[in-house]
């Protein structure tokens, strides 16, 4: 009998807006999803789709304008008490996209890595330095690097420093916001392997945000596809690749480069046009086409998607 999955994060009808009045912009428009303990949940979409905004709202960097974010059953968006705030600060950490911009260039590595500890605990200097050295070793860096500045490191090493900064807090849930997109191709696999190793050793749960579906296939358990602030499709990773239903998902998949030059030359690139939908008279709803595979579609599309799934076809 399969063990029941435990929900660690529950996002319900999340809305995030910027500005006010006529200048108000709704970046996230009623997003809902759950992240199970121990899994890697992926959010994918093009630049400006709202995926990073979702991650930063969970981290309480951006305020929410609607909906609920529940962590271990407790609401963490909006006003929360100091005890819960301290718990969230420790247990939820974020790895940022740009390892240069996210590190204080004027601070040494030991300060950068231990800043979270300094803000939340009162540890003797020896204990703090011991934890910094342990965190650096865990990400494959030498303890003596603690006395150096970020500009003395390569991009991959700086990202490892960012990962160490998260690990030192002993988190349970890590939001990785495009952690490899700013790195050289040769370094990306090293960082992904490191994240996989840490997940297994520490039983971490990841929310992995990216625009590259080719990477997501190998690191995520489930994927939510975001377009203009809405989730348009969500499924287990391999199911999504085998049976992409929403035209936007199909467009993203068609953009993945193929290793075979002839196949790359002959492949059909799909361009997504939102006007292709007929939502004026038949509004879209969030529907489960097959168990675990959800898509935003109207009744006509739902019927078509179910026929494709049943026929084992997705074009």
Instruction: Specify the pLDDT at position 156.
Output: 87
For the chain, domains (ranges, CATH) are 7-243 (3.40.50.300), 244-315 (no CATH)
Residue with tokens 């999803």: 33
233-260 pLDDT, tens digit per residue, is: 999 999 999 999 999 999 999 988 877 7
Average pLDDT score over residue span 97-120 = 86
Q: What is the pTM of this model?
A: 0.91
Instruction: Specify the pLDDT at position 2.
Output: 54
Name the DSSP letter for residue 4.
Answer: P
Q: Indicate if the pLDDT at residue 315 is higher than 70.
A: no
Average pLDDT score over residue span 271-294 = 93
Per-residue confidence band for 170, with pLDDT thresholds at 50, 70 and 90: very high
Alpha-carbon distance 230 to 235, whole Å? 15
Both structure tokens of 122: 């009162």
Nearest to 209 by CA among 40, 39, 42, 61: 42
41-98 pLDDT, tens digit per residue, is: 999 999 899 999 999 999 999 999 999 999 999 999 999 999 999 999 999 999 988 7
Instruction: Specify the pLDDT at position 313.
Output: 56
Number of other CB atoms surrounding residue 92 within 10 Å: 23
Both structure tokens of 114: 């231990």
Instruction: Give the chain's mean pLDDT.
Output: 91
Per-residue confidence band for 146, with pLDDT thresholds at 50, 70 and 90: very high
Residue with tokens 């030498």: 142
């Amino acid at each position: 009998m399969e063990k029941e999955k435990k929900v660690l994060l529950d996002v319900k009808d999340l809305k995030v807006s910027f500005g006010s009045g006529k200048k108000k912009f709704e970046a996230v428009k009623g997003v809902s999803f759950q992240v199970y303990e121990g899994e890697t949940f992926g959010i994918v979409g093009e630049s400006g789709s709202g995926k990073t905004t979702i991650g930063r709202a969970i981290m309480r960097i951006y305020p929410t304008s609607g909906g609920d974010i529940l962590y271990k059953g407790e609401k963490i968006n909006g006003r929360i008490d100091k005890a819960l705030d301290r718990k969230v600060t420790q247990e939820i950490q974020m790895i940022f996209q740009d390892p240069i911009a996210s590190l204080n260039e004027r601070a040494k590595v030991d300060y950068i890595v231990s800043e979270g500890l300094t803000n939340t605990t009162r540890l003797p200097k020896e204990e703090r330095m011991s934890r910094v050295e342990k965190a650096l070793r865990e990400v494959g860096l030498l303890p003596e690097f603690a006395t150096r500045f970020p500009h003395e490191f390569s991009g991959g090493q700086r990202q490892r420093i960012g990962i160490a900064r998260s690990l030192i807090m002993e988190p349970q849930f890590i939001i990785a916001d495009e952690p490899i997109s700013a790195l050289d191709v040769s370094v990306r696999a090293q960082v992904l392997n490191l994240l996989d190793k840490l997940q297994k050793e520490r039983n971490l749960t990841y929310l992995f945000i990216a625009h590259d579906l080719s990477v997501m296939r190998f690191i995520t358990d489930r994927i939510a596809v975001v377009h203009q602030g809405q989730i348009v499709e969500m499924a287990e990773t391999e199911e999504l690749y085998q049976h992409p239903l929403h035209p936007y998902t199909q467009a993203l998949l068609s953009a993945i480069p193929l290793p075979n030059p002839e196949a790359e030359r002959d492949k059909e690139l799909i361009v997504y046009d939102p006007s292709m939908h007929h939502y004026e008279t038949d509004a879209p709803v969030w529907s489960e086409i097959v168990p675990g595979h959800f898509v935003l579609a109207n009744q006509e599309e739902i019927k078509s998607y179910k026929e494709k799934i049943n026929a084992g076809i997705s074009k």
